[in-house]
Chain A
Amino acid sequence: MVGLVNAEPPENAGEYKNVLIFLETRQGKLAKPGLEMISVGAAIAHKVNEELIGIVMGNKIEGLVQEAGEYGCDKVIGLKSKDLEDFRTIPYSVNLSELITELKPNILLIPATRNGRDLASRIAVRSKTGVTADCTELDIDPAERILQARRPTYGESTLAEILCKRHRPQMATARPGIFSVPERDPKRKFVSEIRKTTIKKEFLKKEIVSFKPKSTLDLTSAKIIVSGGLGLGKPSGFKLLEELAGEIGASVGASRPTVDMGWIERDHQVGQTGQSVRPDIYIACGISGKAQHIMGMRLSKNIVSINTDASAELNSISDYIINEDLYKVIPELIDAIKRRKSGEKKPAEAPA
């Protein structure tokens, strides 16, 4: 507990060095959002001749520490305890903040997953520092060693650069799915250390009584999305979209009103209160394009709008506009795709 005090900057801010990265584990494995930060974390550290130090917490972590090094951390520190087996806010934040006090990192990166954000919020207050949430670009000013943390704001319309000049560590969380997981190299050289730790009973008051694995639809990593709005007119309209999606390997998205009407499950919702997506192609079917929907999909590489309403707002940000009844044109589109697929198979079959 920090008590009700302000964020007083340290006098020795200049002495803080290296980039610390929290590698989240999920069900005994290193989770992808943490690995995604290794390349960018290493680039920032190496630009100022510092090291990228990976932190892994858990119980059986020997293999994970090795893995973190092979993915590109210069140094890996494992904190080992049976009480760290599953993520819990207080034991994780107490241990990570003790490491921060000891190592004095200039920068701390944490994935912007649910547990990552849960942890980052508490660490920022514990360390009396600032944190920039959900970054999509990270860089460093090499002269001042100031982290340039950039995040989309105002509904993905603006990129804000946020600095934390006097407080340490400079913290940022990185949005999952933006940076790529680096290649794993089993021959990579790195330093590692595993420390056994014990957690005080007073920090273990929250118990996890059960965990039910559930696969939720992740639209953020989808390459193609076929999405439906109220223009579908009826819940069964999504059946047609599923058929189209099946032909082109797409995921099915939805506008908020269709979800509110119970036409489709909540995890399909695209938009400000749903998922923010940026697929290669977004096919909007019967979606008028309220701002809250557009904010969640406007960074799609290509946008197709199928709508009877020629004045639909979504048309103004579309690469392709099909101003037709979707029940007429989508079956035609499915047939055209089938023809194209079978047409292209022929030459490959011929030489045999």
Chain B
Amino acid sequence: MTLEIVVMIKQVPDSQEVVIDPVTFTLNRSAARNVINPADENAIEAALRIKDKEKDVHITVITMGPPFAETALIDAMARGVDDAILVSDRAFAGADTYPTGLTLAATITRMGKFDIIFAGEESTDSSTGHVGPGVAEFLGIEQASYTSSTWIEDEFVYADRELEDGIETVRMKSPCLITVLTNSNVPRNPTLRMKIDSIKKGIKTWSLADIGLKPEWVGLKGSPTIVKSMRTINEKKREGKKFKAGEMDKFVDELVSKGILKL
């Protein structure tokens, strides 16, 4: 029987290209390209490694996002993912983690049989880490979060969870959900040949109606939380006082006398 893997990804502005406004210290994201969220690239790679090793594995990558998120899905397919679904609808805009998880869980339910769901540990643009485990709760399945590796042995799914004080190896039966740590593997690159094939093959696009949720359940309307206000974290005035080679004693005196450095 085919092992069905789903990878949930998100498209984010490339943090390597995000520019910090020197005056307001806010991020200028308009200049940045949109890329697959870094941890989600590791999640795709974790799924592909299972496909490399096991027989009869089928991987579908899904994302909730605007139409241009298609490029992230094509990128995933060009790395070896079999199919891609974009869940896109104006009604999804402004979703916090609850309706985002609900939307993805409804999408996976609509897809049919699944064995392992992969997701990145968190996204670089909102950094909550709540969506992956939230989907597992909606679907009522086991999970292993913050993993550095996943493998299948004797019909069990094993995963190494990296915790603050050590590495925990867990064993569970599928279906289950795994969240993958940023940098836990080296993602393979898409090839040009596969990119062309992926574009030819194309992705599926589903709307709210396709996944059977009510409009008031998703997006901003379905979100329990609201952002009340945003304020810039006041950047301390930094003097940029200069010291040259040969002035290190003076520099150390300055740090010590101001109580910055205690020796």
Residues of chain A whose beta carbon lies under 8 Å from any beta carbon of chain B: 1-7, 9, 26-27, 89-90, 93, 113-115, 117-118, 120-122, 124-126, 128-134, 148, 152-167, 205-216, 218, 224, 248, 259, 266, 272-273, 280-281, 290-292, 294-295, 298-299, 301-303, 315-325, 328-329, 332-333, 335-337, 339-341, 344
Contact = CB atoms under 8 A, between A and B. Distances in A.
Contact of A157 (B27, B138, B161, B212): B27
Contact of B240 (A89, A290, A319, A329): A319
A35 B171 CA distance: 30
Contacts, number: 284
A106 B170 CA distance: 34
A159 B231 contact: yes
Given A6-B222, A27-B165, A321-B242, A316 B214 contact: no
A262 to B, nearest CB: 11
14 contacts: A1-B140, A89-B142, A120-B130, A129-B224, A153-B230, A154-B27, A156-B233, A206-B170, A281-B255, A292-B18, A298-B235, A322-B243, A323-B242, A340-B252
Given A159-B231, A280-B260, A205 B172 contact: yes
Contact of A122 (B18, B126, B137, B261): B137
A210 B246 CA distance: 54
Given A2-B137, A120-B130, A290 B16 contact: yes
B111 interface: no
B124 to A, nearest CB: 6
Interface residues of B, number: 96
A130 B173 CA distance: 29
B233 A152 contact: yes
Interface of B: 15-16, 18-20, 22, 25-27, 38, 96-99, 101-102, 105-106, 109, 124-134, 136-140, 142-146, 158, 161-173, 176, 182-183, 212-214, 216-217, 222-233, 235-236, 238-246, 248-249, 251-256, 260-261, 263
- Which of B133, B146, B213, B245 gathers most chain A CB within 10 Å? B133
Contacts of A132: 225
A154 B124 CA distance: 9
Nearest to A334: B248
Contact of A322 (B172, B216, B242): B242
A292 B145 CA distance: 24
Contact of A272 (B26, B124, B134, B235): B124
Contact of B158 (A209, A291, A316, A321): A209
A161 B98 contact: no
Contacts of A122: 133-134, 136-137, 143
Contact of A125 (B98, B163, B214, B226): B98
